[in-house]
């Protein structure tokens, strides 16, 4: 397995992993109608990732014959922190260590950024992801935000890790 910086040509594979991950990870947290509709939005997701990659976004992929996951990092919107915006592994590859490898690569790069703290946001109800982050030393900051996804209100919690 290889971790490498993504290129524009990876946008579709990143989108596939993103959508499949959401559909497998979020039933019961996000309305099923919304999750089902994501398959119809693959081109939209691919455009999103293409635009980000063209603009120089730091997205890294895990490759094992094909792209099996990705991590997206950068500076937080407020410019105060390094941020892990997204990390997803295709559900067919869950439990194989790709998430750990992607997170380790992201943390290494985040530590090189000019910030003392790294943050990430995760659905409060996503106990699997929260346990994953906590097992890697991320701490629940006790900050939260309310979002609407697919017509449902969901709460995200912020995790932090000193760099």
3 near 60, Cβ under 8 Å? yes
Name the DSSP class of 30. B
Average pLDDT over residues 79-108: 96
What's the pLDDT tens digit per position in 117-156? 999 999 999 999 999 999 999 999 999 999 999 999 999 9
The CATH code of the domain at 2-116 is 3.40.630.30
Instruction: Report the predicted TM-score, pTM, of the whole model to 2 decimal places.
Output: 0.94
Query: How far, in whole angstroms, is CA 12 from its chain's centroid?
Result: 16
């Amino acid at each position: 397995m290889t971790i490498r910086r993504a290129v524009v040509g990876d946008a579709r594979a990143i989108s596939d992993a993103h959508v499949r991950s959401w559909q497998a990870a979020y039933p019961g947290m996000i309305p099923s109608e919304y999750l089902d509709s994501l398959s119809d939005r693959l081109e939209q997701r691919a455009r999103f990732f293409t635009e980000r990659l063209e603009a120089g976004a730091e997205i890294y992929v895990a490759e094992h014959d094909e792209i099996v996951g990705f991590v997206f990092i950068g500076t937080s919107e407020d410019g105060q922190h390094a941020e892990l915006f997204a990390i997803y592994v295709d559900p067919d590859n869950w439990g194989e260590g790709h998430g750990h490898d992607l997170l380790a690569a992201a943390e290494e790069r985040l530590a090189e950024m000019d910030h003392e703290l790294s943050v990430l946001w995760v659905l409060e109800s996503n106990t699997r992801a929260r346990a994953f982050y906590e097992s890697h030393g991320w701490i629940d900051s006790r900050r939260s935000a309310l979002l609407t996804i697919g017509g449902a209100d969901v709460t995200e919690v912020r995790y932090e890790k000193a760099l």
